[in-house]
Structure 1
Amino acid sequence: MNQKFSLLSAAVLAAMLLAPASPAQASLPFFGKEEQQMPSLAPMLEQATPAVVYVSVAGSREVRQRMPEAFQYFFGQRGQGEMRREQPFRGLGSGVIIDAKKGYIVTNNHVVQDASEIQIRLKDGRTFTAKKLGSDPESDIALLQIEADNLVELPLADSDKLRVGDYAIAIGNPFGLEQTVTSGIISSLSRSGLNEGFEDFIQTDAAINSGNSGGALVNLRGELIGINTAILGPNGGNVGIGFAIPANMMKNLVEQIVEFGEIRRGSLGIRGNDVNSELTKALNLNVSRGAFVGEVLPDSAAAKSGLKSGDVIVSMNGNRIHSFNELRAKVATLGSGREAILGVLRDGKERDIKVVLQETTSGQVAATQLHPMLQGATLNNADKGVEVSSVEAESPAAQIGLRQGDIITGVNRQRVNNLAELRRLLEKRDGGVAALYIQRGNDQLYILIR
């Protein structure tokens, strides 16, 4: 037994000595004399952990409860067996600084959803109030911003180059315990089916628990490879199965929020399913993974590019596609108007097809993110400005005169073409009054907000 242990130890040491040194490891001394140190991730983590922040939120959510029969009878609401009320909440999570100059912080949408107050605490103890610039519930990403000096950001890795077996380190605040670090490996890639959104998860056995949501998954160089988002375990506890949103997907979504103020979802316009053994046998395919095209929708991006039913999509922009869900997630989060090169297997031969993605219905933006007096309105980008798609009765937005169907085309005589421009103009006003120029049917009017 001792001999086997010695041989195993020698093998592990040899592997460590012979393995190519990463930048994080290059300066690390190894086992040996007393003056030498043990191998350690500490130097890398000393650089990376200041970029991971503690997120605390507060707000209120609508709670629905069944109304007792006696109450229904008493209040004359028989048959309306539901009561609605606002319930305050508080929550904790993690976030990652991705742009130190602009103060951009990425976290999960579910961490900050419905929050009216978002506080960010840095590793050095400083605390700031954050503003939510935008979010995407379907991919569970939110972008925050703080105004602060001397921030530290995490560089992004190319998450499409990850391999099963690569080392992964999770940094976050599980159960409110600040700056906790766990390590493991990449257990699987392109996981989906956890929820109903756009999923292309990295699976890792690095311990992820409640409160890690929105934190960083990094490689041995301290580069961000994913945003921790979910765990699979009883009662929210870690069982070695955690999931992270790939850094490339997050980057695409953040770029859309910054440029447009919303997510402009990409669409290919196909229906299909995964390539499996039955399909491979029936169609005599020479691949075992990919996205099978069962139908190409008329006038879609796929139809315009020349895709055909029966094609098998095996790659996108040079990266292998393993399933239809993976293709769906990558297309949706790449964004409309973007160009993609699809590797397509047709008649036993692989070819490249260039496609320009079209836009699907994108997520709406709550106007309270832009200005408190717009609370209760929901906004969408329109052809000639920003459309008010809904207004809650008796809300601040309704009280200042906004109506469903209004188009905001300007602020203080400056043209507004999209949500991003509306946000920038409202931020530049430095207090005082902002005059919203409104197109309402054939009428034009101003609405003032303070």
Structure 2
Amino acid sequence: MPRLKSCLPILAAFLLLGQMATAQADLPDFTPLVEQASPAVVNISTTQKLPAKAAVVNQPDLEGLPPALREFFERSMPQQPRGGDRQREAQSLGSGFIISPDGYILTNNHVIADADEIIVRLSDRSELKAKLVGTDPRTDVAVLKVEGKDLPVVKLGKSEDLKVGAWVLAIGSPFGFDHSVTAGIVSAKGRSLPNENYVPFIQTDVAINPGNSGGPLFNLAGEVVGINSQIFTRSGGFMGLSFAIPIDVAMDVANQLKASGKVSRGWLGVVIQEVNKDLAESFGLDKPAGALVAQVLDDGPAAKGGIQVGDVILSMNGHPIDMSADLPHLVGGLKAGSKASLEVIRDGKRKTLDLTVGALPDDDKDGTPGPVGGSEHSSNRLGVSVVELTDEQKKTFDLKGGVVIKDVQDGPAALIGLQPGDVITHLNNQPITSAKVFADVAQALPKNRSVSMRVLRQGRATFITFKLAE
């Protein structure tokens, strides 16, 4: 028995070594991928000429880094001449990759925005001036062209085939360090970011830093599946949250830019919002899902197709809308004139609406309520005083009815953040056509159950929910 005990540590050590060897054997070998793909990855730098005497050259943003790291990177980058009318030396801004042997290159719009000169440095250190073919700020995609032939190119994959948990690899120029390689896994797909309505981002934990922008994201087959575009950071550096534009989206944009110099997107003409638990309860849904229509723009495709305020869109052309952000991704991928079939919930019942998708306008226009007018009515139950909309306000906001909040007292209205000037158009799923209708509906509101209210503020409509206590 003593001999058996003495053997246990040795046996455990062998088992541990075996497990480590197995784990190492399961890790992918990235070297063939890097050797094959690196020649098609480029470094992009730009120069911007300003009317002032001292010209400014865009360079990686080092603000927010610890002082020691910032000092190290500043020493590592070439120094720029100061003063006078001399043009500063261009510094590395970002990355890109060659998609055709004759010199078409993909990168991010923000990498080359406002640039007067764009320089592309190839893997053999040669530099070429690039021409801007086209750019699309909405997806942050830009297409460049350099003069060349038989240039190395990347293999393009399909981002829709990516799976969460799959290995991915990035090659780029973080802080100007050319052809740096980092790897990680796909953390999520279809991510929506603030003010980014038309890109279902790929989220990864690949180390991405300033200078990686515009560079390719590869799968293990050596195919580009995304363009590294954004990071979430509080320090200025990598924090484990990186976002890439799916290559399917990027190539659709690139092909349109090459063909016509602009991008056409589908448009419904609605303002939507997320369906949370309380809204789902107020609209009679089994669970929070879909896109709640808070506003229908006059004469837009949605209005012509019969979509109404308060509809909850559950699917489009058979694709489920789990989150409200799924809808702009699907609509934006359609061309103007395309047919769309929408499944909606209206008054607790499912119905299908068929409509023709329009073209997304260049600018969105919002209105702001003007001076209030009409007769005043106070609702002690909600704690607000309201007045009816004037004819001019109804025309401005394309409303047939509604009331404007004149004053907010203590009560439910104050607790949910209502403000003077807000326009209430629906309460408890009922249209508000006058101050009297508002008072009647408010008086009959149920207790201890989620109630929805549609509010128009500065031209933007949204549904909010609240509960009245016993």
The verdict on a shared fold, with TM-score over 0.5 as the criterion, is yes
Asked if 2 retains the 8 angstrom alpha-carbon contact of 1:264 and 1:362, the reply is: no
Q: Partners in 2 of 1:185 and 1:42 — Cα distance?
A: 17
Counterparts in 2 of 1:12-411, with a 5 A limit? 39-61=28-50, 90-91=90-91, 92-98=93-99, 100-195=100-195, 198-316=198-316, 319-332=319-332, 334=333, 336-337=335-336, 339=338, 341=340, 344-346=343-345, 347=348, 349=350, 353=354, 355-361=356-362
Between 1:159-168 and 1:348-357, the stretch displaced more is 348-357
The letter of the residue matching 1:49 is S
1:377 maps to which residue?
Answer: none
- Kindly tell me: are residues 336 and 174 of structure 1, through their superposed partners in 2, closer, same or farther at Cα, counting changes over 3 Å? same
User: Kindly, what percent of the aligned residue pairs are identical?
Assistant: 39
Q: Partners in 1 of 2:12 and 2:288 — Cα distance?
A: 40
Asked if 1 retains the 8 angstrom alpha-carbon contact of 2:257 and 2:263, the reply is: yes
Asked if 1 retains the 8 angstrom alpha-carbon contact of 2:176 and 2:211, the reply is: yes
- 1:181 counterpart SS class: strand
Structure 2 residues not aligned, in runs of 5+: 1-8, 53-84, 365-470
Asked if 1 retains the 8 angstrom alpha-carbon contact of 2:265 and 2:336, the reply is: no
- Kindly tell me: are residues 88 and 192 of structure 1, through their superposed partners in 2, closer, same or farther at Cα, counting changes over 3 Å? farther
Q: Partners in 1 of 2:354 and 2:45 — Cα distance?
A: 46
Alpha-carbon deviation of 1:195?
4.7
1:376 maps to which residue?
Answer: none
Radius of gyration: which is bigger?
2
Alpha-carbon deviation of 1:103?
2.0
- Kindly tell me: are residues 236 and 199 of structure 1, through their superposed partners in 2, closer, same or farther at Cα, counting changes over 3 Å? farther
Asked if 1 retains the 8 angstrom alpha-carbon contact of 2:305 and 2:355, the reply is: yes
What's the RMSD between the two structures over aligned residues? 3.5
- 1:40 counterpart SS class: coil
- Kindly tell me: are residues 46 and 344 of structure 1, through their superposed partners in 2, closer, same or farther at Cα, counting changes over 3 Å? farther
The letter of the residue matching 2:266 is G
Alpha-carbon deviation of 1:294?
2.8
Between 1:133-142 and 1:172-181, the stretch displaced more is 133-142
Deviations 1:151-210 (A, max 9, x none): 233333332343332222111111111111111112223333445674432221100011
- 1:234 counterpart SS class: coil
- Kindly tell me: are residues 43 and 356 of structure 1, through their superposed partners in 2, closer, same or farther at Cα, counting changes over 3 Å? same
- The total of aligned residue pairs comes to 321
The letter of the residue matching 1:151 is L
2:65 maps to which residue?
Answer: none
Asked if 1 retains the 8 angstrom alpha-carbon contact of 2:102 and 2:151, the reply is: no
- 2:186 counterpart SS class: strand
Alpha-carbon deviation of 1:236?
2.1
The letter of the residue matching 2:228 is N
Deviations 1:332-354 (A, max 9, x none): 4x365263645524356585846
The letter of the residue matching 2:94 is G
Alpha-carbon deviation of 1:249?
2.0
Q: Partners in 2 of 1:171 and 1:350 — Cα distance?
A: 48
The letter of the residue matching 1:138 is R
Q: Partners in 2 of 1:253 and 1:185 — Cα distance?
A: 26
Alpha-carbon deviation of 1:243?
1.4
1:27 maps to which residue?
Answer: none
Q: Partners in 1 of 2:252 and 2:270 — Cα distance?
A: 22
1:387 maps to which residue?
Answer: none
Q: Partners in 2 of 1:208 and 1:113 — Cα distance?
A: 20
Structure 1 residues not aligned, in runs of 5+: 17-29, 32-37, 64-84, 364-450
Asked if 1 retains the 8 angstrom alpha-carbon contact of 2:304 and 2:355, the reply is: no
Instruction: Give me the TM-score of the superposition, normalised by structure 2.
Output: 0.59
Q: Partners in 1 of 2:272 and 2:247 — Cα distance?
A: 27
Asked if 1 retains the 8 angstrom alpha-carbon contact of 2:102 and 2:149, the reply is: no
Alpha-carbon deviation of 1:240?
1.0
Deviations 1:189-232 (A, max 9, x none): 33334456744322211000110010011211122221111122
- Kindly tell me: are residues 340 and 107 of structure 1, through their superposed partners in 2, closer, same or farther at Cα, counting changes over 3 Å? farther
- 1:327 counterpart SS class: helix
- 1:254 counterpart SS class: helix
Alpha-carbon deviation of 1:255?
2.2
- Kindly tell me: are residues 159 and 302 of structure 1, through their superposed partners in 2, closer, same or farther at Cα, counting changes over 3 Å? farther
Asked if 2 retains the 8 angstrom alpha-carbon contact of 1:275 and 1:291, the reply is: yes
Q: Partners in 1 of 2:342 and 2:13 — Cα distance?
A: 48
- Kindly tell me: are residues 282 and 120 of structure 1, through their superposed partners in 2, closer, same or farther at Cα, counting changes over 3 Å? same
Asked if 2 retains the 8 angstrom alpha-carbon contact of 1:265 and 1:362, the reply is: no
